[in-house]
Amino acid sequence: MDSIDERRRDEEYRRRRRERIRKRKQREVRRRRITLVLTTIIIILFVILIVKIVSACRADKIVSTTEKTANTVQSTEMPTLANPIKFTESQLQLNVGNVHKPFIMDSNRTELTEFSLKSENEEIVRVNENNELIATGEGDVTVICTVADGRQAECQVHVSPMSSTGIRKDLDINKPMVALTFDDGPNGGNTTSILETLNKYNGKATFFMAGYKIEEYPDIVRQVFEQGHEVANHSRDHLYANDLTVEQQKEQMESVNQQVKAIIGQEPTLFRCPGGIEGEYYTSSKMPLISWSIDTLDWKTKNSHSTYERITSVFEKGYNLDGDIVLMHDLQDSTPNAVQRICAYLNEKGYQMVTVSELAYYRGVQMEGGEIYRYFYKDNPSHNDEQDFDTNDSNENTDNSSDDNTEETVTA
């Protein structure tokens, strides 16, 4: 009996012991699980903390960069506000056809060379590739100048209509004047190069244009007119009058008048006979006939230096060009280079380069249709008396050799 009880006690003891071991294992499992969960939470919290720290550092860097950029912008804006730009003339009065080169300065009166101009109405004023203002129509317009850093300035431009003759009224009557004339064009780059040179020296010239060249370059005809130069008639096909009938002469003259009118809105008022040879219709027409007193012979030498020397030699011999009409040809490729040197030379000597109509106006001559005009000297503005060719003290410089590649024996 005792042994049975003892076995029971032993079994109970072992059962309880197994129970304690089982519970201890369960507690160990729970502890490990709790430890794992806590460790995971701690790791997650640590990662979150690291992410927040990194994000905060990046945000500080961005703020620092933004502030630096703002400071840079502010430092850039400060001189913009403190150093505005302006036109030397905030208001301009121009006539149709005038070309004006504006000057832009900052508050320190330093001239700016890098800028762009924009006209708010190109039908009144347009801007060419040289940043020059060209008055093309009557009215008022604002021209805006912008420099690279965004600074801007405005100029108010009033354009008045050009007189029917296109004569500038601001020339100095006391300064010498010479009329540069160009035949046989327009001729593409040659003519535009000559225009650039004339504009540089505020000079104007008379372009005697041939009809067959007008057909080829109508835009240049318009450019010549818009820049204030004189568009004149040199016949349609450059045929000599002694080879034409009266009706053919009329057709040669009148067809060009209509061509020009279709392009610039008005007929030319002056005519130059091809080869300087007058014809019956020409001498009875409504158009004054313009000859020349100085032939540069550019048509013959085709050499820019020789053309230039034809001008300088006049002064070297003690004579002058005041009142002379000079013959050149924009058809010749050597002429634009010669014109650059001639204009610089004449400008240095104080000459005003004018159109034929301007020269006649300032010398008090009212030109008449069919009459021949070779010069407009101050003391003797006679135009068609051959024996008066030495009245300008320049008988040696009044070479009337023919133009346009004719033989030397053919004279006006």
Query: How much is the CA Rg of the chain, to the nearest whole Å?
Result: 44
Per-residue pLDDT of the chain (412 residues; tens, 9 = 90+): 667 777 777 788 778 878 888 888 888 888 888 888 888 898 998 888 888 888 887 766 665 665 555 555 444 444 445 689 999 888 887 766 667 788 898 888 888 889 999 999 998 999 988 888 887 778 899 999 999 889 999 999 988 765 545 799 889 999 999 999 999 999 999 999 999 999 999 999 999 999 999 999 999 999 999 999 999 999 999 999 999 999 999 999 999 999 999 999 999 999 999 999 999 999 999 999 999 999 999 999 999 999 999 999 999 999 999 999 999 999 999 999 999 999 999 999 999 999 999 999 999 999 999 999 999 998 776 554 443 333 344 333 333 333 443 333 233 3
Domain residue limits, the chain: 1-82, 85-160, 177-397
CB count in 10 Å sphere of residue 44: 10
Environment class of residue 70 by beta-carbon count within 10 Å: exposed (0-12), middle (13-18) or buried (19+)? exposed
* Inter-residue contact 289 to 271 (CB < 8 Å): yes
Cα 353 to chain centroid, rounded:
21
Fold designation for 177-397: TIM Barrel (3.20.20)
Token match 């008045």: residue? Answer: 160
The model's pTM is 0.59
Report helix, strand or coil for 361. Answer: helix
DSSP 4-34: HHHHHHHHHHHHHHHHHHHHHHHHHHHHHHH
CB count in 10 Å sphere of residue 189: 11
Identical topology for domains 85-160 and 177-397: no
Token couple for 113: 């060379």
Report helix, strand or coil for 104. Answer: strand
Tell me the C-alpha distance between 377 and 206, whole Å.
18
One-letter amino acid identity for 14? Answer: R
Architecture of domain 85-160: Sandwich (2.60)
Give the per-residue SS3 of 130-167.
Answer: CCCEEECCCEEEEEEEECCCCCEEEEEEEEECCCCCCC
